[in-house]
Amino acid sequence: MTTKYISASIPTLKRLPRYLQVLKALNQEENMYISATKIADELKVDSIQVRKDLQSTGIIGKPKLGFELKELIQSIESFLNWDNLTDAFLIGVGSLGQALLGYENFKKSGLNIIAGFDIDEKLVGKTIRGINIYNINKVEDLIKRMKINVAVIALPANNVNMIVEKIVEAGITAIWNFAPVHINTNEDVIIENVNLTQSLAVLTHKINERKNKDGGTK
């Protein structure tokens, strides 16, 4: 049904999880079909785009019926590689790090956090949501011994690049970065940044824009 591997554009990759949200909200009955148009209507986006994105996962729809629902969900998940769990270390187990440990959706999305690391003596030795927290000074050794390639960074801004240098040296080749800093490392390392202040910049500016339009009445 699905092809083993196809490359995809970043915009397509970002849209696919949204389609999954819509699909998973539906009753997954046997032999239920859904059209790209239906998904597009739900999300208020262009249906040609949806059809193209879905087809890029390798699935082939039936004329007039659309896509078989369960098969479509599986096709997207397989395409995103979410049916293969990748082990990862969490670096920084403060409030943000602990929230990430509690976010069950990650496992459904292919990421399996298997240990946490922090400098805070109050956290080291604890088990949070089933995950053991180790002293940060053990991280390089454990990356090597357990052959871990993926790190989730939830540190405050200080010292991030110093720690990144160490973990990349030890074997990390992909970083999901929540720290509010720009990571300087070699080009082979995959970096995906989640910068919440960037998102907030868009929100606060839009609010301000509207205030000005309305002459400050809102």
Nearer to a copy of itself, 37 or 84 (CB): 84
Nearer to a copy of itself, 55 or 62 (CB): 55
The three-state DSSP-derived secondary structure of the chain is: CCCCCCCCCHHHHHHHHHHHHHHHCCCCCCCCEECHHHHHHHHCCCHHHHHHHHHCCCCCCECCCEEEHHHHHHHHHHHCCCCCCEEEEEECCCHHHHHHHHCCHHHHCCEEEEEEEECCCCCCCCEECCEEEEEHHHHHHHHHHHCCCEEEECCCCCCHHHHHHHHHHHCCCEEEECCCCCCCCCCCCEEEECCHHHHHHHHHHHHHHHHHHCCCCC
CA–CA dist 43, 49 (Å, integer): 12
Nearer to a copy of itself, 30 or 188 (CB): 188
State the residues that interact with a copy of itself by CB under 8 A: 5, 7-8, 10, 13-14, 16-18, 21-22, 25, 42-43, 80-82, 84, 86, 94-96, 98-103, 105-106, 108-111, 149-150, 157, 173-174, 176, 180-182, 190, 192, 194-210, 212, 218
Nearer to a copy of itself, 35 or 78 (CB): 78
Q: How far is the CB of 185 from a copy of itself (least distance, A)?
A: 11
Nearer to a copy of itself, 63 or 215 (CB): 215
Q: How far is the CB of 124 from a copy of itself (least distance, A)?
A: 19
Q: How far is the CB of 94 from a copy of itself (least distance, A)?
A: 7
Q: How far is the CB of 204 from a copy of itself (least distance, A)?
A: 4
Q: How far is the CB of 210 from a copy of itself (least distance, A)?
A: 7
